[in-house]
Amino acid sequence: MKGYQPQTLNEVIIQQQSAFPYAKGELSRLLSHLGVAAKIVHKKVNKAGLVDILGEAGEINVQGEDQKKLDVFADETFINAFRTSGMVAGVASEEQDNVVVFTDELSMNANYIICMDPLDGSSNIDVNVSIGTIFSIYRRISPPGTAVTEADFMQEGNKQVAAGYVVYGSSTMMVYTTGLGTTGFTLDPSIGEFCLSNMFMETPKEGTIYSINEGNYIKFPQGVKDYIKYCQIEDKATKRPYSSRYIGSLVADFHRNLLKGGIFIYPKTSSSPNGKLRLLYECNPMAFLAEQAGGRATDGYGNRIMDIKPTELHQRVSFFSGSSSMVDKAEEFMKKYEE
Ligand code: AHM
Ligand code: MG
C-alpha cells in the first residue's frame, strides 16, 4: 500500500521558486518562517476558550479599534518570526502605529519588507468564527545595509513579490501566490505541516454569491444599492437571485468566494468616505491572490487596486473583489452615478 505522502509547504515553495533561475531561496525560507508563526497562532486560536487569550488587551490601536489579546499575540508572534528570520528589514502591521524597523545587522541587510494584518476579523475572535492573517511581501527600495523607512512601504500592489493569507477556520489553511497562480495548503495537525490541497486555485468567472454588510445599506453609494437590488432580482439565465453570505472576516469571506465564485464588496460609505479596509495589508494582498486566481479587484470605480499608489501607511480604500464578471457588473452600476 502506498504511504501517505503529502507535499508540504516547504517542498512546493522550493519547486515553484526553481522557476526563477536567479532565486537564492530567500523567499522560500521567509515563507517557511511565516508558516511556523502561523502554526503557533493556529495553536493559540484552537485553544482560545481554554487559555486566557479571549477578550480585550486594554489598548486601542492606531485605527481607533480595541485590540484583542489574540490580535496582540498574533502581532508579536509574526513580528518575532520575521525579526529572527534575518530576511526581513521591517514590518508594517495593522496593530502598529508606525513601521517596525529591524536594526540588527542581518535584518538591515535583508531584501524584503512585509505588510500584514496579523489577525483579521477581530469582531469574530471571541465567538469562534473564522479569522485570518493576511500578508504581503515586497522588495525594499532603500539600499541594503541601511534601516528601512516608511517610504519602502509606499509601493503599489503590483510590486508585490508574494502575498497570502492564513484562514483559521474549520481547518487551518494557508493560501499564497508568488505570481505563479494561487496555491492552497491545509494544515494537517497530526504531522504539524501545511500540505498541498489546492493547486492552481481558480475562481469561477461567474458566481452566485454576494458578500457585503447590508446593515450599512442606507450609507452606501447609489451604485452599490442598485447592484444589491440587481443581485436580488429573479432571473433564471443569470441564476439570480444570488445568495447573500457575509461572515465579517475578510479572509473567510474572500476564501469562500475564491473557491465558489462570488463578489465581496466593502464600499466607501457616508460615514467612512474612504471605505474601511486597508490598502497595504488587506486589499493589496487579496487583490494579488484574486487576480492570480483569474478574478478582479478594484475600488469599484475602474481603478485596479494594485495600481493605486499608497500615500499613507494605514490608508483605506473601497474594495470590490471576486469573480471577474461580477466585478464588471458591479462597476457598470457604479459608473451610472459617476460625476
Ligand atoms: P479588522 O482588521 O479590525 O478585523 O477589520 C477588518 C474586518 C474585515 O475582516 C471584514 O471584512 C470587515 O472588517 C468587516 O467589517 P464590518 O463589521 O463593518 O462589516
Ligand atoms: Mg483587518
- If asked whether residues 74 and 130 sit together in one domain, one would say yes
CA of 250 to the centre of ligand 1 (A): 6
Domain span holding position 255: 209-335
**What is the rounded distance in angstroms from the CA atom of residue 87 to the CA atom of residue 33?**
10
Note whether residue 3 is domain-resident: no
User: What is the full per-residue pLDDT of the chain (339 aa) written as tens digits?
Assistant: 567 788 999 888 888 777 766 667 788 889 989 999 999 999 998 887 676 666 676 677 766 666 778 899 999 999 999 999 999 999 999 999 999 999 999 999 999 999 999 999 988 988 889 999 999 999 999 999 999 999 999 999 999 999 999 999 999 999 999 999 999 999 999 999 999 999 999 999 999 999 999 999 999 999 999 999 999 999 999 999 999 999 999 999 999 999 999 999 999 999 999 999 999 999 999 999 999 999 999 999 999 999 999 999 999 999 999 999 999 999 999 999 975
- What is the best residue among 249, 265, 318 to mutate for testing ligand 1's pocket, by most ligand atoms within 8 Å of CB? 249
1 lies in a domain? no
Find the CATH number of the domain harbouring 89. 3.30.540.10
93 Cα to the center of ligand 2, angstroms: 10
Domain edge (last residue) among 180, 200, 220? 200
User: Same structural domain for residues 264 and 328?
Assistant: yes
Global pTM reads 0.94
Atom of ligand 1 nearest to the CA of 131: 9
Together in a domain, 283 and 176? no
* 183 and 216 co-located in one domain: no
Ligand 1 first shell, C-beta below 6 A? 65, 94, 117, 120-123, 213, 248-250, 266, 276
Q: Are residues 89 and 238 in the same domain?
A: no
Using most ligand atoms within 8 A of CB, pick from 71, 72, 123 the residue to mutate for ligand 1. Answer: 123
- My answer on whether 264 and 145 are in the same domain is no
Q: Which ligand is nearest to the CA of 133?
A: 2
Measured from the Cβ of residue 84, the count of other Cβ atoms closer than 10 Å reads 15
Grid coordinates of 303: 481603478
Same-domain check for residues 141 and 229:
no
Of 146, 170, 200, which residue sits at a domain end? 200
In the chain, the amino acid numbered 10 is N
The number of residues making up the chain comes to 339
Looking at the structure, tell me whether residues 270 and 123 fall in a common domain. no
Residue 323: CATH number of its domain: 3.40.190.80
**How close is the Cα of 6 to the center of ligand 2, in Å?**
32
List, edge to edge, every strand of the sheet that includes 193-198.
100-101, 88-93, 112-120, 131-139, 162-168, 172-177, 182-188, 193-198
- Give the C-alpha distances (Å, rounded to integers) separating 32 from 77, 193, 276, 301: 14, 10, 31, 37
Distance CA 206, CA 217 (A): 24
Q: Return the H-helix or E-strand segment holding 176.
A: strand 172-177
Mutate to test the pocket of ligand 1, among 71, 250, 274, 282 (most ligand atoms within 8 A of CB): 250
Longest dimension (CA), the chain: 67
Q: Which residue has the cell 460625476?
A: 339
Give the count of domains, the chain.
2
d(CA 264, CA 241): 16
Tell me, yes or no, whether 4 lies in a domain. Answer: no
Residues 28 and 114 in one domain: yes
pLDDT recorded at residue 32: 87
Shared domain for 79 and 166, answered yes or no, is yes
Do 104 and 47 reside in the same domain of the chain? Answer: yes
